[in-house]
C-alpha cells in the first residue's frame, strides 16, 4: 500500500510539473521548486497527516518526480509516458541502493534514467514492426 | 575542443547513470525480478541515448560564472537543510524557487537567464546528507566539480528531466571517491 501511494505521488509530481512548465510556461526550475516547496512545507508543518514512512518519503519522491516533469515537451510530449516515468521513478526509489543513500543528486539520476526509458519506449512504439503488431491487435 | 567536451560530458553522464543502476543490481542480485527489471531498463536507456537532443553552443569561457552560482546554491541549500533543520526537500526547493525569480531584475541579462538552472543544480549538491558530506569544505569542492561538469555538459541532454541532478550526483560521487582515495 505504501509503495502504491509513492507510485501515485511519482505520477502526480511528474505530470503537475510538466503542466506548469510546458503548458503554463512557468519555467522548469520554478515549476519543480515551487511544487516541491508546497508539498515539503505541508509535511513539515503537518507531519502527522500521514504515517511516518509516508510523511518522510512522499516529499522526497515528489521532488524527484518533479525533475521528470522538467523535461521539455520536445523530448516527451505524451502524458502517458510521463506517468509511466513517474511510476517507474517511485519503483526505482523504493529499491534504490543503500550504497548511494544520502548522496545529493541521486534523485535526479533516477529521474534521468526514467526519462530515458520513456524516450526509448516512445521510439520503440513507433518502430514499424511494433506498429504492425498494434494494427493486428486493433483488427481483432 | 567544444566537440571533445561534449563527448566527454555525454559519456560521463552515461557512466554516472550506469554506475547507479549497477549499484542496485549488485545489492539485489538474489532477487530475480529486480535483476530482470534493471536489465530491461539498461537496454531501454541504451536505446534512449541515441535520441538525446544535442545543441551547438560555442560559449564556454564566458559561462565560467556558472560555477560560482552552483557553489552558492550548494552552500545555501546545505546550510538551510542542516543548520536551519528544514530538511533537504524544503531547502533545495526553497533555494530553487527563490533563484527562479532572480532573472526578473534584468530580463536582458544572459548571466541572470542561466542563474536559476545553475543554482538549482547546486541545490542538489546541497541536499547531500551530513553523514556523506564531511562538512562545508566537502560541499564547496563538490559544488565546484558539479559546476565544471555543468559547464562541460552545456551542449548535451538539454531539456532533459534529471540532467541537473545527474550532474550533481557526479560531482558528489567524484568528491567522495577522491576523499576515499586520498585519505
In this prediction the ipTM stands at 0.85
Q: Which of B166, B178, B151, B161 is closest to B71 using CA atoms?
A: B151
CA-wise closest residue to B60 among B150, B124, B158: B150
What's the count of helices (H) and strands (E) in chain B, helices before strands? 7, 0
| Pair A93, A64: CB distance under 8 Å | yes
Asked if A71 lies within 8 A of B23 by C-beta distance, the reply is no
pLDDT band at A126 (very low <50, low <70, confident <90, very high): confident
Nearest CA in chain A to B121: A105
Nearest chain B CA: its distance from A38 CA (Å): 9
Closest-CA residue of chain A to B22: A97
Chain A residues whose CB is inside 8 A of the B107 CB are none
Give the residue from chain A lying closest to B88, CA to CA: A60
Contact A71 B159 (CB under 8 A): yes
Record: contact B132-A67, CB cut-off 8 A: no
Say if the Cβ atoms of A72 and B160 lie within 8 Å: yes
Residue B156, classed as helix, strand or coil, is strand
Q: Decide if A133 touches B, using CB distance below 8 A.
A: no
Q: Does A121 touch chain B (CB under 8 A)?
A: yes
Q: Is B104 on the interface with A (CB under 8 A)?
A: no
The three cell numbers of residue B95 are: 533555494
| DSSP structure class, residue A51 | -
Interface membership of B20 toward A (CB under 8 Å): yes
Alpha-carbon gap, residue B133 to B13, rounded angstroms: 22
Taking the C-alpha atoms of residue B174 and residue B75, their distance in angstroms, rounded to an integer, is: 18
pLDDT digits over B116-148, tens only?
A: 889 999 999 999 888 887 788 999 999 999 998
All three cell numbers of A17: 510539473
Residue A82 has pLDDT above 80, yes or no: yes
Residues sharing a CB contact under 8 Å with residue B7, sequence separation 6 or more, in sequence order = none
CB-CB: which of B27, B44, B96 is closest to A98? B27
CB contact A79 to B (< 8 Å): no
Q: What 3-state class would DSSP assign to B54?
A: strand
Q: Could you tell me which residue, B60 or A26, shows the higher pLDDT?
A: A26
At residue B58, the pLDDT reads 60
Give A36-62 pLDDT, tens digit per residue. 999 999 999 988 888 888 888 899 999
Closest C-alpha among B63, B68, B14 to residue B42:
B14
Q: Is A27 left (phi over 0), alpha (psi -120 to 50) or beta?
A: left
Write down the residue that cell numbers 537567464 correspond to. B113
Query: Which residues of chain B have a pLDDT value below 50?
Result: none
Q: Do A36 and B92 touch (CB under 8 A)?
A: yes
**Are B94 and A75 in contact (CB < 8 Å)?**
no
Asked whether the beta carbons of B76 and B99 are under 8 A apart, the reply is no
Does residue A123 or residue A132 have the better pLDDT? A123
SS3 state at B59: coil
Amino acid at each position: 500500500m505504501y509503495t502504491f501511494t509513492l507510485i501515485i505521488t511519482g505520477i502526480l509530481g511528474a505530470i503537475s510539473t510538466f503542466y506548469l512548465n510546458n503548458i503554463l510556461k512557468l519555467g522548469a526550475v520554478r515549476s519543480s521548486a515551487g511544487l516541491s516547496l508546497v508539498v515539503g512545507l505541508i509535511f513539515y508543518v503537518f507531519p502527522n497527516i500521514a504515517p511516518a514512512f509516508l510523511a518522510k518519503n512522499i516529499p522526497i519522491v515528489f521532488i524527484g518526480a518533479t525533475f521528470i516533469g522538467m523535461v521539455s515537451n520536445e523530448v516527451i510530449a505524451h502524458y502517458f509516458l510521463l506517468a509511466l516515468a513517474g511510476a517507474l521513478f517511485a519503483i526505482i526509489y523504493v529499491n534504490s541502493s543503500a550504497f548511494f543513500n544520502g548522496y545529493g543528486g541521486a534523485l535526479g539520476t533516477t529521474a534521468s534514467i526514467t526519462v530515458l526509458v520513456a524516450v526509448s519506449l516512445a521510439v520503440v512504439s513507433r518502430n514499424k514492426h511494433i506498429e504492425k503488431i498494434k494494427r493486428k491487435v486493433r483488427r481483432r | 575542443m567544444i566537440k571533445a567536451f561534449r563527448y566527454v560530458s555525454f559519456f560521463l553522464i552515461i557512466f554516472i547513470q550506469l554506475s547507479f543502476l549497477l549499484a542496485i543490481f549488485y545489492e539485489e542480485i538474489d532477487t530475480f525480478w529486480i535483476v530482470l527489471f534493471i536489465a530491461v531498463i539498461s537496454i531501454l536507456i541504451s536505446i534512449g541515448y541515441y535520441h538525446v537532443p544535442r545543441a551547438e553552443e560555442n560559449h564556454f569561457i564566458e559561462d565560467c560564472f556558472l560555477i560560482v552560482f552552483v557553489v552558492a546554491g550548494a552552500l545555501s541549500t546545505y546550510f538551510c537543510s542542516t543548520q536551519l533543520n528544514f530538511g533537504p526537500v524544503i531547502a533545495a526547493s526553497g533555494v530553487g524557487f527563490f533563484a527562479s525569480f532572480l532573472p526578473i531584475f534584468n530580463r536582458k541579462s544572459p548571466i541572470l537567464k542561466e542563474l536559476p538552472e545553475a543554482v538549482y543544480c547546486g541545490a542538489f549538491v546541497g541536499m547531500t546528507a551530513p553523514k556523506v558530506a564531511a562538512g562545508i569544505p566537502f560541499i564547496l569542492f563538490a559544488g565546484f566539480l558539479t559546476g565544471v561538469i555543468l559547464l562541460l555538459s552545456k551542449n548535451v541532454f538539454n531539456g532533459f528531466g534529471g540532467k541537473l541532478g545527474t550532474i550533481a550526483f557526479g560531482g558528489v560521487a567524484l568528491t567522495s571517491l577522491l576523499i576515499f582515495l586520498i585519505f
